[in-house]
Amino acid sequence: MDPVGVIARKRDGHELTDAEIRWAVGAYTAGAFADVQMAALLMAIVLRGMTARETASLESAMRASGSTADLTGLRRAGARLPTVDKHSTGGVGDKITLALAPLVAACGAAVPQLSGRALGHTGGTLDKLEAIPGWRAEVPMPAMRRQLEDVGAVVCAAGGELVPADRAMYALRDITGTVESIPLIAASIMSKKLAEGADALVLDVKVGSGAFLADAASARELAETMVHLGADAGVRTTALLTAMDAPLGRAVGNALEVAEAVEVLAGGGPPDVVELTTALAREMLAAAGLDAVDPAVRLVDGSAMDRWRRMIAAQGGDPDAPLPVARHVDTVCAEPGVAGVVTGLDARAVGDAARILGAGRLAPGDAVTAGAGIEIHARPGEPVAAGGRLLSLHTDAPERIAAAREALAGAVGIRPGASAGAGGRDELGSGGPLVRGRVS
């Protein structure tokens, strides 16, 4: 086998054999398959697709590129701790993991959350948590086990020994326009999640303008693909299809989203973030056999916040430290003569603008800016006065504001003269309920 031959076969629409896929992934991990060649193969996969067998083979080969975690035998007070994880396919303002992991831990499960960094226009959980002074993403396996038994939750980077093929391919996809592919997304997510060894897995598959897959049919196909991969590996796997037409909550950006997640843990926060957090918590608890516990109670009684503080401290962070703040803020306002109700807020445009402002990466190796991002003042269904504030752009690089504003051109829809409805999100153009469906 040779890289050019494998690339050409997929380019021409042929089905790759298991041996070809294993060889390509192994050779790339070992450095015998150059970045430019893997980029070409990834693009061929995006354009030609993969069969279910090819996708399963790719996931298996990626998972086999490193070791797997062993979470068996976790105990607290003499009882076995069920392990359950959650993964989101990526959204704008999606800070759900930050509150969800400690919330589910407060309900009695252990949550081993291996997370990633910003990809394309979507934020990364690790980038968000690194806005907390002192917090570290690297947690060795022995320390991870101890933290799960003591605190019940850990959010960290996959160790260097876990799925190294995905780490390299993930970074390459981010900069080569090869993110939006069902086989590549499914294999990437499931290779990591199956390697971490949890008993059960809940998938949050986004659908809408801010998702990698904007249409419902493609999102359901992705959900079904991943659920089948999980079931074949013996892991209880379910998926929720959730809306990503508008950003979640009012904060997009690393430190901004941490602050909003802390509001949720304190019993407040935007209703849509609370709604999705509790919906996913219930799904995770059911998968872990703990469905008698009501997660909403844990948000009110302070136990979820306690787990959050312990989780952050266990990874070197200071939960009381002030979060970074951007040096420059620019406000986007409605036209002076236009008053009405916001009918839409394009999540993709907001994500692209936040990336430009420094919340994500424009080139490989870029550092993210902790304080950069976008604050949303008027969400779909809410009124806006003539000339009223719509968005605040936070950045340390004011020279990027013009480009961010350009990315946001046309992103906010306003119905002049309309009045806000009682239900807001449902009445005025944000696409209905947050949870659109379930796959099991």
Q: Tell me the domain boundaries of the chain.
A: 3-63, 75-321, 328-416
Report the SS3 class of residue 283.
helix
Same fold, 3-63 and 328-416: no
CA distances from 117 to 33, 121, 122, 389 (A): 24, 11, 9, 30
> Number of helices (H) and strands (E), helices first, in the chain?
16, 15
Task: pLDDT tens for the chain, 440 residues: list them.
Answer: 899 999 999 999 999 999 999 999 999 999 999 999 999 999 999 999 999 999 999 999 999 999 888 888 899 888 899 999 999 998 999 999 999 999 999 999 999 998 888 877 888 999 999 999 999 999 998 999 999 999 999 999 887 788 999 989 988 997 898 988 999 999 999 998 999 889 999 999 999 989 888 899 999 999 999 999 999 999 999 999 999 999 999 999 999 999 999 999 999 999 999 999 999 999 999 999 998 889 999 999 999 999 999 999 999 999 999 999 999 999 999 999 889 999 999 999 999 999 999 999 887 678 899 999 999 999 999 999 999 999 999 999 999 999 999 999 999 999 998 765 533 443 333 456 899 999 99
Q: What CATH number has the domain spanning 3-63?
A: 1.20.970.10
Assign 3-state DSSP to the chain and report helix, strand, coil percentages, each to 5: 45, 20, 40
Q: How many residues does the chain have?
A: 440
Catalytically active residues, by annotation: 87, 166, 173, 188, 192
Q: For residue 324, what is the DSSP state?
A: P
Report the SS3 class of residue 67.
strand
Q: For residue 18, what is the DSSP state?
A: H
CATH topology of domain 328-416: Aldehyde Oxidoreductase; domain 3 (3.90.1170)
Specify the CATH architecture of the domain 75-321. 3-Layer(aba) Sandwich (3.40)
Measured in degrees and rounded to the nearest 5, phi and psi for residue 222 equal -65, -45
Q: How far apart are CA 313 and CA 116, in angstroms?
A: 20
- Residue 255 makes CB contacts below 8 A (sequence gap 6+) with 128, 131, 323, 324, 325, 370, 371, 373
Q: For residue 357, what is the DSSP state?
A: I
